Amino acid sequence: MGKVIVTGGAGYIGSHTAVELAAAGHVPVLVDDLRNSEAAVLDGLAKLIGRRPVLHRVDCTDRHALDAVFRAEGPVDGVVHFAADKAVGESVQDPLKYYANNVGSLVALLQVMRDHAVRTLVFSSSCTVYGQPDRLPVGEDAPDHNALSPYGATKVMGERILRDLVASDPGWRVVLLRYFNPIGAHPSAGIGELPLGVPNNLVPFATQVAAGLRDRLVIHGTDYPTPDGSCVRDYIHVVDLAQAHVKALAWAEARTEATCEVFNLGTGRGSSVLEVVRGLEAVTGRPLPHLLGPRRAGDVPEVFGDPRKAGAVLGWKASRTLHDALADAWRWQQTLADRDRG
């Protein structure tokens, strides 16, 4: 097995996927401009993989720089494309940043892949494309709802661009992976999420509260039509998610005809924000300071996915529990604290 380009490979999901690719015998080559990640992740990866992966510090909207990467690396088997901005609120404030980067990097990457006759791609999409689904768990064939942030719109557009490309040229084999809510960290605590500034997402914020770095968590809404009034999401361990990319790549490589196939990556189980709080309290062994606050603009009340298609076609299933993910997130947070002290 040969080289796989991992754009956004220094990031949260990208770094965990690099580990799983290497474990499966691939050689991950990271392409990342480190705008939202740190070169220090390479130290963690070196320990987990057994050697330091190559990182090309390149902005994926820069077609010429990407071309140089493909030329330097020689034969490439396929690409896993993570590089993107992902803060929903920021995308509402600065939509052009999201369209320029998320759409621009995908188009530039596809042009370069075409030029180098590399036509196997795994694309990071999101359950955000579903908005608030009519039926739960949501399946891949659910209609798109339009209540999307600019961030979500870039994922819808990315999927559309890839469908159009595959329709125009049967040489492409593309897998679209719609992630539910990735959380946790590598169980070794060698790599994990490194949010810059104040985390937007629930689990990194909550583990910082548990570590005493922030005063309290605000629960965004407790009057939703859900069992305990707080929002429900499908939290999936990032290592399960990373392993799905390896299966998706192998499946795509084995396809002999034009392919553009979409898969949900979730557990099939919804958990409320209050359940996550209780879960983290169980893991840390102490109460998590929190306040019941108002709803956050743009949140959907409840979403969890039907992962059966990924099970049947890719042979993939999430195997780690919410408790496993919270325990690993907490271990990672403690490792970060030790590193800061050291």
Binding site for ligand UD1 (CB under 6 A): 86-88, 126, 128, 149, 152, 181, 200-202, 205, 217-220, 231, 233, 273, 296, 299-300
Q: Are 214 and 161 in contact (CB under 8 A)?
A: no
Q: Are 221 and 292 in contact (CB under 8 A)?
A: no
Residue 69 vs 83, nearer CB to ligand UD1: 83
Nearest approach, Cβ of residue 201 and ligand UD1 (Å): 3
β-bridge pairing 232-233 and 271-272 = antiparallel
Q: Which residue is nearest to ligand UD1 (CB)?
A: 231
Nearest approach, Cβ of residue 182 and ligand UD1 (Å): 8
Residue whose pair of structure tokens reads 């990271």 in the numeric block: 30
Residue whose pair of structure tokens reads 């499908």 in the numeric block: 234
| Residues annotated as part of the active site | 151
The residue type of 238 is V
Nearest approach, Cβ of residue 159 and ligand UD1 (Å): 13
The Cα–Cα gap between 120 and 302 comes to 33
**Which residues make beta-bridge pairs with 120?**
173
Residue 53 vs 137, nearer CB to ligand UD1: 137
Nearest approach, Cβ of residue 45 and ligand UD1 (Å): 22
The Cα–Cα gap between 300 and 298 comes to 6
The Cα–Cα gap between 305 and 235 comes to 10
Instruction: Tell me the chain's radius of gyration from C-alpha atoms.
Output: 19
Residue 120 vs 154, nearer CB to ligand UD1: 154
Residue 100 vs 218, nearer CB to ligand UD1: 218
